[in-house]
Amino acid sequence: QSALTQPPSASGSPGQSVTISCAGTSSDVGAYKYVSWYQQHPGTAPKLLIREFSQRPSGIPDRFSGSKSGNTASLTVSGLQADDEADYYCVSYAGSRWVFGGGTKLTVL
Amino acid sequence: QFHLVESGGGVVQPGGSLRLSCAASGFTFNNFAMHWVRQAPGKGLEWVADMTSDGTTKYYAESVEGRFTISRDNTKNTLYLQMNSLRPEDTAVYYCAKHDSGGVWGGWFDPWGQGTLVTVSS
């Protein structure tokens, strides 16, 4: 099972918006609603940001939003803050297996 | 507050074995499926294995199938990962993560433990 495709890096200035894509196939992202996004700061465990493409768990700011179009999911971070600088990963259910994206390093300029 | 604590990592020679543990607290462990996910140094996340809440169904990544075994003891609120025939490419931080339901069909990973480092080297 190939990994989902994410851009290695993304950047934006404080207050701006950035969108990170997660490209899959009709066997994973396109087949199920179970795509979630995780934020990972250096040396810490991943943290759930978005589940089921666009649902935010309680406690996650509405600056974080998710969407899907075809076989591609996207995460948008609005109103960038310094603490948003981290690695972001998408993951999709793929029928008895799970496939992660390669990760995107978000830099706040 | 859900809490997961991994242990059992360390340095092992190629071909060796290691058993990881993940102690759960703050939730009814036997109601939830569980996952193992790993992260090689400086690399991305890779799903390793999962198991249903009752332990009857398990799935593995192709990279570990036949070498790793996931198990759980619901009386001890603990998840395990037995790793045999270890290879240098298995070197990674291993995280356990709680699934959102008892089955492993769909869902998400939340929360994650802090991870335990496994180093396979001679």
Percent of chain B beyond pLDDT 70? 100
Residues 6+ apart with CB under 8 A from B109: A36, A38, A46, A48, A91, B35, B37, B97, B98, B99
* pLDDT at position A94: 94
Is B109–A93 a contact, with Cβ atoms under 8 angstroms apart?
Answer: no
pLDDT at A2 over 80: no
Q: Which residue of B has its CA nearest to A96?
A: B59
On chain A, the residues whose CB falls within 8 A of the CB of B105 are 93
> Region B1-23: what's the mean pLDDT?
97
Is B106–A34 a contact, with Cβ atoms under 8 angstroms apart?
Answer: yes
Mean of per-residue pLDDT scores for chain B? 97
Higher pLDDT, B106 or B42: B42
Give the separation between CA A24 and CA A101, rounded to whole angstroms.
9
Is B95–A46 a contact, with Cβ atoms under 8 angstroms apart?
Answer: yes
On chain A, the residues whose CB falls within 8 A of the CB of B107 are 34, 93
Percent of chain B beyond pLDDT 90? 94
Is A38–B44 a contact, with Cβ atoms under 8 angstroms apart?
Answer: no
pLDDT tens readout for residues A65-108: 999 999 999 999 999 999 999 999 999 999 999 999 999 999 99
Residue of A98, A99, A100 for testing the chain B interface, max B β-carbons within 10 Å: A98
DSSP chain A: -PPBB--SEEEE-TT--EEEEEE--TTTTTT-S-EEEEEE-TTS--EEEEBTTTBPPTT--TTEEEEEETTEEEEEE-S--GGG-EEEEEEEE-SSSEEEB--EEEEE-
pLDDT at B105 over 80: yes
Burial label for A109, CB within 10 Å (0-12, 13-18, 19+), is exposed
Give the separation between CA A30 and CA A73, rounded to whole angstroms.
9
B87 CA to chain A: closest CA distance, Å? 20
Is A100–B47 a contact, with Cβ atoms under 8 angstroms apart?
Answer: yes
Give the separation between CA B83 and CA B103, rounded to whole angstroms.
23
pLDDT tens readout for residues A20-67: 999 999 999 999 999 999 999 999 999 999 999 999 999 999 999 999
- Report helix, strand or coil for B119: strand
Of the pLDDT bands very low, low, confident and very high (cuts 50, 70, 90), residue A18 is: very high
> C-alpha distances in angstroms, A107 versus A19, A61, A81, B118?
12, 19, 10, 29
Going across the sheet that includes B18-25, the strands are B3-7, B18-25, B78-83, B68-73
Q: What does the buried/exposed string (b/e) look like for A72-84 if buried means 16 or more CB atoms within 10 Å of the residue's CB? A: bbbbebbebeeeb
The token pair that represents A67 in the structure block: 């969407």
B106 CB within 8 Å of a chain A CB: yes
pLDDT at A1 over 70: no
* pLDDT at position A75: 98
Neighbouring C-beta atoms of residue A9, cutoff 10 Å: 12
On chain A, the residues whose CB falls within 8 A of the CB of B63 are none
The token pair that represents A101 in the structure block: 């994206």
* pLDDT at position A79: 97
Is A48–B109 a contact, with Cβ atoms under 8 angstroms apart?
Answer: yes
